[in-house]
Amino acid sequence: MSEIFEKNSLPAEGPLVAWYGDDFTGSSAVAEVLTFAGLPSVLFLETPTAEQLARFRDRRGIGIAGVARAHGPQWMERELPAVFEALASLGAPITHYKVCSTLDSAPQIGSIGKAIDIGRSILDSAWTPVVIAAPAIARYQVFGNLFAIVDGIPHRLDRHPTMSRHPVTPMNEADVRRHLQRQTEQPLGLIDILALHTGNAGTFLDKEMAAGRQIVVLDVIDDETLRAAGALVWERRGEGIFAVGSQGLEYALAAHWRDIGLIPADPPPPQGARSSRVVAASGSCSPVTDSQLQWAAEHDFSIVDVDASKAVDPAIWEKEIARAASLAAGLIGKGRDPIMATARGPDDPAISKASETAMRAGVDTEVLSARIGDGLGRMVDTVLRQTGTGRALISGGDSSGYAAKALGIFALEAIAPLAPGAALFRARSDEPSRDGLELTLKGGQMGDRDFFGRVRNGK
């Protein structure tokens, strides 16, 4: 083992992975995977200053949380080059553009293909692996097609009960290559489960690259293919590699590093403490979140319905923010945990009401999403200040980015696992009252039915 370690040893210092997440909940998932694998990491909510970086110089993972998933290609052309330059300056062997494990994207909004084009033009990378699947979060890819499990039932992504009906980026193609090919003109290749299972992944990679396919999608369906994918990325990283994927990429790398002795076996996960009260906000329309809201309402949480259609008019929206926050603060005083929610599942008429109101008023989808997310964050911030509560939860990948920024924090560090893809974090802020806030950011598909209770219990 010592020979393996010496030959393949990890760099002694500096980040191993530098990443940018196209939404906040996904960004935090990378920090979670690395930290609980024994590689402490930090997630910044914006590109960090030199002073902020200096405070975390010993971290093995450094990430920047973004909102690219909610924006179009022109926004990406303006904003992403500077982000990729900042990531490149960190000198990590792996630079990762983190995307959702359900591939939320389309040519006109959240385009992963556009991000790949920009990233490859800035970062020197012989090839770009794409690792989307991750068994730990019930995502599987077979012969290029992505599957997700809901309530124990596997669904091809274009038949997924949520993603096939997503209000912004409905999924109508499960083949990862075909989906991404609509977003980039660069050809995509595939290394399938057969190549990974037979140990021929390197040979297949050479063939794809020789054919001009430098963007290569990797199947993952079990622990064996996960380790094989991690081995291929790490061993063929060259002087540095630009990769795309979900936190499945970090799961794969950690599995490989663990397999050859570069990091220890899974350390026992830390546990958080129970909190007396939790303040929550939800902008998710997922049926998973709807089920969680139903459970929460039966277990000492109270739901405050928020009318997202009022975000069309900024003045009216301010009144709605104040109304919801006031109700939520009152619930804390009555010994209840408030959840300020904009929707109860994909069939909630509130979703179409908001969309139709915005369309009639000529308000762009990106603008509406930003207003709703920012408003949810300010609701949470108001309740925290009025009640002194020290733990918060924000549910919804598109909403959480704007909401987290409204809380006045600049970084997050994972402190305890709650569910794969949704950990408990400690916030860092220059404002004393916000430094140390415990916060969970949850994507719509993440967590078991009792997730809100887990946040309250800290485990």
Q: Which pLDDT does position 6 carry in this prediction?
A: 40
Indicate the residue among 205, 228, 259 that finishes a domain. 259
CA distance 8 to 245: 24
- For 359, the token pair is 């369309």
Is 67 within the bounds of a domain? yes
Is residue 207 located within the same domain as residue 292? no
Q: Which pLDDT does position 206 carry in this prediction?
A: 98
Nearest to 244 by CA among 218, 270, 224, 222: 218
Domain count, the chain: 2
Is residue 374 located within the same domain as residue 453? yes
Is residue 216 located within the same domain as residue 283? no
Is residue 59 located within the same domain as residue 189? yes
Is 334 within the bounds of a domain? yes
Q: Which pLDDT does position 3 carry in this prediction?
A: 34
The model carries a pTM of 0.87
Is residue 13 located within the same domain as residue 158? yes
Alpha helices in 55-185 (DSSP H): 73-88, 112-122, 176-181
Is residue 244 located within the same domain as residue 311? no
CA distance 56 to 383: 30
Indicate the residue among 210, 228, 259 that finishes a domain. 259
Is 270 within the bounds of a domain? no
Is residue 310 located within the same domain as residue 182? no
∠ at Cα 148 (61, 217), nearest 5°?
60
The pairing of strands 145-150 and 139-142 is antiparallel
Is 252 within the bounds of a domain? yes
Q: Which pLDDT does position 226 carry in this prediction?
A: 98
Is residue 321 located within the same domain as residue 194? no
CA distance 440 to 442: 6
CATH number of the domain that 195 lies in? 3.40.50.10840
Is 265 within the bounds of a domain? no
CATH number of the domain that 322 lies in? 3.40.980.20
Is residue 247 located within the same domain as residue 344? no
Is 91 within the bounds of a domain? yes
Indicate the residue among 259, 294, 310 that finishes a domain. 259
Is 63 within the bounds of a domain? yes
**DSSP-based three-state secondary structure for 368:** helix
Is residue 206 located within the same domain as residue 313? no
Is residue 89 located within the same domain as residue 119? yes
Is residue 235 located within the same domain as residue 349? no
The residue range of the domain holding 7 is 2-259
Q: Going residue by residue through the chain, which has 459 residues, state the pLDDT in tens, using 9 for 90 and above.
A: 333 334 467 888 899 999 999 988 788 999 999 999 999 999 999 999 999 999 998 999 999 999 899 899 999 999 999 999 999 999 999 999 999 999 999 999 999 999 999 999 999 999 999 999 999 999 999 999 999 998 889 999 889 887 777 777 888 899 999 999 999 999 999 999 999 999 999 999 999 999 999 999 999 999 999 999 999 999 999 999 999 999 999 999 999 999 999 998 877 878 888 998 999 999 988 888 999 999 999 999 999 999 999 999 999 999 999 999 999 999 999 999 999 999 998 889 999 999 899 999 999 887 888 899 999 999 999 999 999 999 999 998 777 777 888 888 999 999 999 988 889 999 999 988 899 999 998 888 888 999 999 999 998
CB 209 within 8 A of CB 187: no
Is 156 within the bounds of a domain? yes
